[in-house]
Structure 1
Amino acid sequence: MITMSQRKNAWVGPAALLATALAIPAWAVAADEDTEHAHRLTPAESAAPEQGAVPVPGVPALAGGTLPGPSPEATEALLAPLAASAEHPVGPEDLLEISVFEIPELNRTVRVSEKGTISLPLLGEMSVKGLTAMQLESRLRDELSRRYLQDPQVSVFIRDYGSKKVAVIGAVGKPGVYAMLGARTLLQVLAEAGGLVKEAGGVLYVIRAMPEGDSRRLPVNVNDLLTNRDPGLNLPVQPGDIISVPLDRPTYVYVDGAVKTPGRLEELASRPITLLQAIAKAGGTTERASLKAIQILRRGSDGTQSEIPVNLKRIRHGRDPDRPRDLLLRSQEETR
């Protein structure tokens, strides 16, 4: 909570590193002589609808689209394994589609056994575990040309990745481990896992093991992925990926001074409110409120505290913006 001194907001409670405060009446806060005390902001006047948000059932909207998206460097690093190895090794339970050009009798769709083998006409049983599709094509071509055909043209397509799994955890309808049934994108895997529940936060993470042994975690803005349909965020999913959808977390705003119900407001981190909305939730201003002398106390990630003067009259009349995360405060956890 914020307590108010004679002239300034001077203290922030340990639970809130950031807080919004209405200036208290003129007898306690020095204000312009022409400060209006006659007009009060009602909750209806204070509330300002968010612009540009498109609701998606079961998905929390992110006001203002302010959550950062992944940097190009982070995306490139996460997708590097895809560029380095365009094909995944064959494993047990994979479904292979094998075609030999102009010899349809040899075309087969086969499931790799638990031992990592397949059985084909003319060639019998052979081990394929650990081979990429291109390596298997080369091996089949060599075997057929050595024993039966001249310069055979062989193609191998991995139709289902039965051996490849992806885990989806957190705030989804059906958390669990899912088989990679062919190539999959992030949206496809999320849909298979039942979509995001209403308690989902504003950012999800794709966690991927890297060739050097460590792992990368790429944040994905849920609003940009689902509402704005940013194609750059609909990443191709690799076997072994973990898609983590954290629950939304509360963040606290403290409003004190010349409002009808001062105190703590609890909001969700993915749904930041604006100054006008915070005042509305606090019951609106009293008749003694100094609308031109509002102070926002905010503490940054480095621990320094700043005081931001705000003219509420200008915001009400549209001359100053009423932006979430600009005039609104965040909890200690958010600013780390």
Structure 2
Amino acid sequence: MTEPVPFRFSALAPLVCLALSAGCQSSVAPVLPTGTAAYDAIALAPTTEAGVHVIAIGDRIDVRVFREEDLGASSLLVDGAGNVALPMLGEMRAAGLTQRALGERIAQMLRESLLRDPRVTVSLAEAAMQTITVEGEVAAPGVFQIQPGHTLLSALALAKSPQNTALLDEIMIFRSIDGRRAGARFDVAQIRAGRAPDPLVQGGDVVVVGFSQLRRGYQDVLRMSPLLNVFTVF
């Protein structure tokens, strides 16, 4: 009687190579900056100060000029272009500036045209709802509302965290800065370990979690193994 031929893992080697071959492909985001350059690329500096609000499209602001009520305004809407219309000064850019920075800019314009020593205060009357989009290899991709101070890790938590097939060193943030599109790549494993800062996210950001074809290949092989009796020797 012929002895049964042992079924060894080597018999499945061609299938394993096929399943994992995609893992040899290059990163899907090789051109995006990483490390320190990543933080510079998406201009996170204005939001790093605790409690500072960066004015955004849809916000409403109050502008007060000391002893010059006619030069101020209440509940000014930051329009879709990021501008506000001020009495005597006309339209000016507001989105992307802190309240203090906008106040200093208004004071400078008044100093050049109307007043010797203007004192200007800008306050937030009503904040627009800020949302981000989280896509890719997360458990629950979608659009999420955020508050000032939200970070990349908290954004991933809103999406129920990266899946097992995620590339943790290929987490991308895309952002519009002064009308141009910017992007950067972050390593979440380094951030979680405290070896890299956790970048703040802003309204309008898109977070994309990369996909590991190599890990998916391993999972496909493991799913096939019970059916094919892989690792079983008779």
Using the size of structure 2 for normalisation, the TM-score is 0.53
Residue 45 of structure 1: aligned partner: none
Per-residue CA deviations over 1:27-69 (Å, capped at 9, x if unaligned) read xxxxxxxxxxxxxxxxxxxxxxxxxxxxxxxxxxxxxxxxxxx
Q: Does 1:112 align with 2:72?
A: no
- The answer on 1:245 being equivalent to 2:221 is no
| Cα shift at 1:233 | 5.0
What is the correspondence of 1:143-162 to structure 2 with a 5 Å cutoff? 143-145=109-111, 149-154=115-120, 156=122, 162=128
Determine the structure 2 residue equivalent to 1:93. Answer: 58
Q: Does 1:232 align with 2:196?
A: yes
Within the alignment, does 1:217 sit opposite 2:201 as a pair?
no
Cα separation, partners in 2 of 1:208 and 1:262, compared to 1, 3 Å: same
In the alignment, what sits opposite 1:15? 15
**Aligned counterpart, 1:140:** 106
Counterparts in 2 of 1:1-336, with a 5 A limit? 13-17=13-17, 74-82=34-42, 86=46, 92-96=57-61, 98=63, 110-114=76-80, 116-118=82-84, 123=87, 126-129=90-93, 132-133=96-97, 136-145=102-111, 149-154=115-120, 156=122, 162=128, 166-170=132-136, 171-176=138-143, 178=144, 181-191=147-157, 193-196=158-161, 201=166, 203=168, 205-208=171-174, 215-221=183-189, 230=194, 232-238=196-202, 241-245=205-209, 249=216, 251=218, 252=221, 263-264=229-230
* Closer, same or farther: CA 129–235 of 1 in aligned 2, 3 Å: same
Is the contact made by 1:162 and 1:180 (CA closer than 8 Å) also made in structure 2? no
RMSD between aligned residues: 5.2
CA contact (8 A) 1:220 1:233 kept: no
Which residue of 2 is the match for residue 326 of structure 1? none
Q: Relative to 1, partners in 2 of residues 1:194 and 1:230: Cα closer, same or farther, differing over 3 Å?
A: same
Deviation at residue 103 of structure 1 after TM alignment: 6.2
Name the CA shift for 1:13/1:82 in 2 (closer, same or farther; >3 Å).
closer
Counterpart CA distance in 2 for 1:240 and 1:13 is: 46
Write the deviation string for residues 248-273 of structure 1: whole angstroms up to 9, x where unpaired: 7351359x9xxxx9834xxxxxxxxx
Q: For structure 1, list consecutive stretches of 5 or more residues without a partner in the other structure.
A: 19-72, 265-278, 287-336
- Letter of the 1:234 partner, please give it: D
* CA–CA separation in structure 2 for the residues paired with 1:197 and 1:84: 23
Equivalent-residue separation in structure 2 for 1:116 and 1:213 (angstroms)? 16
Q: Offset at 1:151?
A: 1.7
The 3 A distance-change label for structure 1 pair 97 and 230 is farther
Contact residue 158 and residue 182 of structure 1 kept, 8 A: no
CA-to-partner distance for each residue in 1:253-310, whole Å, 9 max, x for gaps?
59x9xxxx9834xxxxxxxxxxxxxx8xx6xx99xxxxxxxxxxxxxxxxxxxxxxxx
Report how far residue 115 of structure 1 moved: 6.1
Task: Show the counterpart of 2:26.
Answer: none
Per the alignment, residue 53 of structure 1 pairs with none
Identity of aligned residues (%): 18
AA matched with 2:209: V
C-alpha separation between the residues in 1 aligned to 2:107 and 2:165?
50
Preserved contact between residue 119 and residue 125 of structure 1 (Cα < 8 Å): yes
How far off its partner does 1:85 sit?
6.8
Task: State the Cα distance separating 1:242 from its structure 2 match.
Answer: 2.5
Check conservation: 1:92, 1:162, Cα contact below 8 A: yes
In structure 2, the residue corresponding to 1:232 is in which secondary structure?
Answer: coil
How far residue 76 of structure 1 moved from its aligned partner, in angstroms, is 0.8
2:28 alignment partner in structure 1:
none
TM-score, normalising length from structure 1?
0.40
For 2:156 and 2:10, the matched residues in 1 are separated by: 46
Cα distance, 1:112 vs. partner?
Answer: 1.1
Cα shift at 1:174: 5.0
Instruction: Assess if the C-alpha contact under 8 Å between 2:39 and 2:184 holds in 1.
Output: no
**Cα distance in structure 2, aligned partners of 1:107 and 1:210:** 28
Structure 1 counterpart of 2:142, one-letter code: P
Distance 1:189 1:199 in 2: 17
Number of residue pairs matched by the alignment: 197
| Structure 2 unaligned blocks of 5 or more | 1-5, 19-32, 48-52
Distance 1:159 1:235 in 2: 27
Q: 1:179 to 1:3 in 2, by over 3 A?
A: same
Shift of 1:189: 2.6
Q: Distance in 2 between matches of 1:126 and 1:104?
A: 16
Q: 167-176 or 229-238: which moved more?
A: 229-238
Look up the equivalent residue of 1:196 and give its one-letter code: S
